[in-house]
Amino acid sequence: MTSSLRQSRRVWLSLAAPALPCWLVLATGVGAGWVLSAALMLTLLSLAAGTTMLLRREHESLTRNRWLWFSMIALLLPALACCLLPPAARDELTHHLALPGLWLERGSVRPVSGVLVSYFPAWSQVLYAGALNLNSEALARLIHFFFGLLILVLPMALRASPGNDSLRVAPWLALLWLVTPAFHSLLGMAYADLPMLAALLGAWLCWARWSDECEGHWLVWASLLVGWALAIKYSALPAALVFVGATIAEWWRRGKELRPGALAPLGLILLLPAPHFLINLMETGNPIYPLAGSLFGTGAASGVGASHWQVRRDMFGESLLAQLLVPIRVFFSGLEGSQEHFDGVLSPLWLVLPPMVLWLRRRRLASTENSLIVQFLAVSALTVIFASARARYYLPALPPLAVLLLRTAPQVDWNRKTVQVVGLVCALGALFGAAHIATQFINTDASAYLSGRLTRREYLEKQVPEYGAIERGRNAWGADAQVYPVLTGNRFYYIPARVLLDNGFLPERLLRAAREADTPAGIAASLRAQGITHLLYPPQSLRRVAESQLESAAYVRMAGFFKNECDRIAEVPPFAVCALRGSE
């Protein structure tokens, strides 16, 4: 009896390890007063309990690898702490939280006139609207965090092959995701990347089963999941195109084994994103990506019409060879918040482990595994074409590699020497990721806010440079003000007024008015005609941009505009707020 009780206790203690982050989020919800929302608390409870029950069947593996699970907890806790911070990341402030706020203000989920990014697919933002309706930014981030947890446990629920072998590798794959800095940083933000990535990972797990078993229901689920990914974020497009091509190639390879009707489920891909594609087509002329200038445009246009690759050449001095190597460099180097350094970094383990595992397995690759390798390469290549050089845009290329590892790693003869060699490589890769993750966490200065040393306002002024100027300016503009953010990265979540944005980073509205007007007063009249009453801008940066983009006469007119047609009402370096004279 005593032995049985001890065994049961060990099992449940081991179950508590991977489920602990879910239970911590649940406890955080209770502590934050969310218990008043019955629906929310039931959702948190079901996620926490569901994670526990899902992993129960793996209790032997958990007991055997406790250090693995506690390593995962150590990596999840900093991300969980970041979820409790005020939003400060660029894309949160640009649209992932800004748009739901505008929808709540207008009372409906629809594109917002003058805010072109509002035509993006919006399924994840709808979830965030519910969180903001409860006046909880932290809950919006926790929703994104939960999708990250889903990515970690999904391979334990959807096996990559008919047998149970892949279940032994799934916990190690979860750790690989967590030591990927670009993935880890997203856990503490309210973005759209992790819901999209969860859908794509589920799609490739289902696709691998369809390829093995030729059962149509697997392709139905895979197609629906790819469609969901497209409905969440446009950067799933390269993965969707490769998925369709790989499915057709597999059907062609099997010849008469599959009927032509076997490809019919591919039509389900369009089911969920179709409304967004229709709106984009009607409003912008491009059904896929509203910032592109044509059907086949990449949307990578800056304010002067230069592609991201031209910008990297002109601003960062990158050679053609360096640009061609971006899909490889993004796994080895990067810096969060730096456009030059890919706004983050993946992990070299994603490029090193699959070839190493395939070599150690010493077997001929099956057709499904060959296809997964080709799919990874194809998604990476298309990402270069369709997206800018940001680490998180390359995350959709990783699910094929994840499924490949799940299928091949169990077939390796894990003798002592093999474990030592692979363990050393993994340890070095984990240290690489941990160093980047620690640096990112230190930069968030989470302890200063969570401990109460910094107030919310002080924290935001430190993390979001324009926030202080906005707070001082809001007392001067009225309810009818329309603010034009200049050179702020279009971060307008904290601006308590209507905003009018440029399509690119450069202030094209202001530059165009300076070129076309004859006098400083003409610049002011042009901006007032667009409804602009106030400008938020960094004076020093704007001066440098004007010097590089304008001829001398236009530059003089712009200088006269700020001197004679504007009143500076707030200034917190490096940003200032000015009001146009004569604006109602």
pLDDT tens string 124-174: 787 888 888 888 888 889 889 989 988 988 887 776 665 556 677 888 888
- Is residue 319 scored above 80 in pLDDT? no
More confident residue, 23 or 393: 393
| Number of neighbours of residue 217 by Cβ within 10 angstroms | 12
Lowest-confidence range among 412-416, 431-435, 529-533, 538-542?
412-416
pLDDT of residue 504: 66
Mean pLDDT of 91-109: 80
Higher pLDDT, 164 or 320: 320
**Does the pLDDT at position 11 exceed 60?**
no
Q: Which of 327, 331, 336 is nearest to 353 (CA)?
A: 331
The C-alpha atoms of residue 266 and residue 258 are separated, in whole angstroms, by 14
Would you mind telling me the total number of residues written for the chain in this entry?
Answer: 584
Contact 235, 396 (CB under 8 A): yes
Q: Give the max Cα distance, the chain.
A: 93
Q: Which residues contact 316 (CB under 8 A, 6 or more apart)?
A: 340
CA distance 439 to 426: 20
pLDDT at 301 over 50: no
Strand arrangement, sheet containing 534-537: 498-499, 482-485, 534-537, 575-580, 566-572
CA angle (541, 547, 551) in 5-degree steps: 150
The torsion angles phi and psi of 203, rounded to 5 degrees, stand at: -65, -45
Q: Residue 70: which of 130, 129, 142, 21 has the closest Cα?
A: 21
What whole-number distance in Å separates Cα of residue 206 and Cα of residue 441?
Answer: 35
- Residue 554 contacts by C-beta under 8 Å, 6 or more apart in sequence? 514, 515
pLDDT digits (tens, 9 = 90+) for 327-344: 888 888 777 766 667 778
Positive or negative: CA dihedral 243, 244, 245, 251: positive
Q: Which H or E element spans position 420?
A: helix 416-444
- Kindly tell me the burial class for residue 41, based on how many C-beta atoms sit within 10 Å of its own C-beta (0-12, 13-18, 19 or more): middle
Single-letter amino acid, residue 73: I
Rounded average pLDDT over 273-288: 76
Confidence of residue 9 (pLDDT cuts 50, 70, 90): very low
* Residue 315: per-residue pLDDT: 58
Is pLDDT of 187 > 50?
Answer: yes
pLDDT digits (tens, 9 = 90+) for 200-257: 999 999 898 888 887 888 888 999 999 989 888 888 888 999 999 988 888 887 765 6
Q: How far apart are CA 160 and CA 167, in angstroms?
A: 9
pTM confidence score: 0.80
Mean pLDDT over 459-468 rounds to 84
Mean pLDDT of the chain: 78
Cα–Cα distance between 182 and 140 in angstroms, integer?
Answer: 19
Whether residue 376 is predicted with pLDDT greater than 70 in this model: the reply is: yes
Interatomic CA distance for residues 370 and 373, integer angstroms: 5
Taking residues 12-20, report their average pLDDT.
46
